[in-house]
A and B are shown apart, each in its own frame.
Chain A
Amino acid sequence: MKCTRCRAKAEVHLRSHNSAFCRPCYLFYFRRQVERAVAGERMFVPTERLLVAVSGGKDSLALWDVLADLGYDTTGLYLGLGIGAYSDESRGKVEQFAERRGLPFRVIALEDEGAGLAVPAVAQVTRRVPCSACGTMKRHYFDTAAIEGGFDVLVTGHNLDDEAARLMGNVLRWQKDHLARQRPVLPSTHPKFVRKVKPLYLTSEYETAAYAFLRGIDYVVEECPNAVGATQLLYKDVLNRLEVASPGTKLAFVKEFLRSAQPAFADVEREEPHDCDRCGMPAYGSRCSYCRLVDEVQAKTARALAGAPA
């Protein structure tokens, strides 16, 4: 197979784009994809300060690599979830990546933020799905770190497969309020919410993995142990089977949703956020979902220690 651009031997074949690329052309192509997403959706401009949420995985490190290469003012944010050796390895990959490139980064470890706040402990005591507890924690600490650090934009590495799986889940349950907010750019709706953007929203997992590999980025290959059996992985598998039968399905699903269907949901009314009576961050209700979760953890832990049923 030959490179679509220069006819050299190809290393990456993208069926959904009916294209193949050699290494230099693929790296060029990938950066162009990110640049087009940023410009096309007006995600940010060079004068803005970007906080890039990095997990140590292929997507976030590939994205940080491209944005730093393009000259954007980036700072990494790693949130330690307290998932044993997996979190230790993830943090190590982020630190190594940042130090080699001289990029600034910040680390927040949940176990340092309060007793019992590591994701496995929260999931166990509240009997929630770990991914649910993880999502609540991430949203809170990403938002607070962005505000406290004076950043203009929070950048995440959500890719096409993430967005297609999320869309499938939202459509299967017709979650209108979620569909209303499923966009590559979420503008600030409160003084304590910065703009949130997903520059990889049209870039597949294969594409980000290939970029990371070809750039020599040392990322965490191991899967989060808590993700086993997660619904999102089931949706991804279904979508990948459709993709094999009809290349380009995932891209069309997300692109056409955003072009044709999303505007119909955009007007779904949502209550304006108030200030959380505990932490002051935006909340739908008197208390934000993070503080409600912490309340629940503390109450159930206290009951367990007292010997009462949790």
Chain B
Amino acid sequence: MRIHLRPQRRTVELEGRRRVAQLLAELGILPGTAMVIRGDSLLTDGEVVEESDEIEIRAVISGGGG
């Protein structure tokens, strides 16, 4: 699967299929801090991402102090 990480503007490729929760854990991303997007849909933790899928993992944390 091909994973686009935003806002890091980095793409990683992984072999095999996995559930979203496992994928986030492998990438070191805390649940609830990023959206997992496939096409125009959001994926929940239990959904399976197939090896042929292309997804985006978009961080939701923002801020500085303003």
Residues of chain A touching chain B, judged by Cβ–Cβ distance below 8 Å, are 1, 10-13, 15, 20, 57-59, 129-132, 134-135, 138, 161-162, 165, 204-206, 208-210, 213-214, 221-224, 226-227, 230-233, 236-237, 240-241, 243-244
Contact = CB atoms under 8 A, between A and B. Distances in A.
Contacts of B11: none
A206 B66 CA distance: 19
A279 to B, nearest CB: 20
A223 B65 contact: no
Given A12-B42, A213-B37, A204 B63 contact: no
Interface residues of B, number: 24
A233 B42 contact: no
A1 B46 contact: yes
B16 interface: no
B61 A244 contact: no
A70 B45 CA distance: 32
B32 A233 contact: no
Nearest to B33: A240
Query: Which applies to chain A's interface (DSSP): helix, strand, loop or mixed?
Result: helix
Contacts of B30: 240-241, 243-244
B35 interface: yes
Given A221-B6, A244-B30, A131 B66 contact: yes
Nearest to A204: B32
Interface in B28-66: 30-33, 35, 37, 41-47, 58-66
Contacts of A59: 62
Contacts of B46: 1
Contact of B45 (A13, A227, A233): A13
Given A135-B66, A205-B61, A233-B61, A210 B35 contact: yes
Given A206-B35, A210-B35, A221-B58, A11 B63 contact: no
Given A15-B31, A213-B37, A240-B30, A221 B63 contact: no
Contacts of A223: 7, 59, 62
